[in-house]
Structure 1
């Protein structure tokens, strides 16, 4: 399958999250501040990227994250409303590349690039032995 047949540059999505305690550094690491954790920001960027192209995916196909190059620029407290954006900037045969950003209001919290690989679920599960019982 060639992603260039159905995914185009410019496709985009946006998500909004009110930061819960469970997504803060302090929740995961004792003694750390209760601010939005970098891995949680990256998770939201990945999910937003997936949202941008999901409607165009062919039946039986999904995308999985393969690369992240993210800068976390500013902290956000519990209760902050974070808006995450993703835009397709390049489409290769099996790889889709995105520019991603996160904001609290107009203040940029993070930015970078993310790539997702096109995967056939059935073949992926067979390759991993998913569903087989010992």
Structure 2
């Protein structure tokens, strides 16, 4: 499968999340504040990116995260609504590049770029020795 045949620049998706305690840095690291953790924000950015293109993928194909260049700009407390967006900005044969952002109700809390690689699940599983 060649991503250039099915994925178009501008495709996008959005996710919303009310920050739960288990997605805070304080949940993972004792004595740290109970604010939205950077890795959790990045996870939502990756999931939004995958959502933006998953309907275009042929059966047996998925995307996996391959690059992350993210800035976490502001702290967000438990209970706040976070909106995460992803938009395709470039498409190569096997790599799709995204611009990603995250917002709480007051401001932009994260921004950056993310890339996902196009993978055939059967071939991938065989390479891992799990199939």
TM-score category (smaller protein): over 0.9
Q: Does 1:110 align with 2:113?
A: no
Residues in 2 aligned to 1:102 and 1:21: alpha-carbon distance in whole angstroms: 18
* Deviation per residue, 1:47-97 (Å, 9 max, x gap): 000000000001100000000000000000000000000000000010000
Count of residues paired in the alignment: 131
Q: Alignment RMSD, CA only?
A: 0.6
Q: How does 1:13-28 map to 2 (within 5 A)?
A: 13-28=13-28
For residues 57-68 of structure 1, the aligned pairs below 5 Å read 57-68=57-68
5+ long unaligned stretches in structure 1: none
Deviation of the 1:130 alpha carbon: 1.3
2:47 aligned partner: 47
Q: Give the TM-score normalised by the residue count of structure 2.
A: 0.99
Matches within 5 A, 1:3-14: 3-14=3-14
**What is the match of residue 126 of structure 1?**
126
How far does residue 106 in structure 1 lie from its aligned partner after superposition? 4.7
Aligned to 1:56: 56
Equivalent residue for 2:92? Answer: 92
User: 2 CA distance for matches of 1:106 and 1:13?
Assistant: 21
Unmatched segments (≥5 aa) in structure 2: none
CA–CA distance in 2 between the matches of 1:111 and 1:81?
Answer: 16
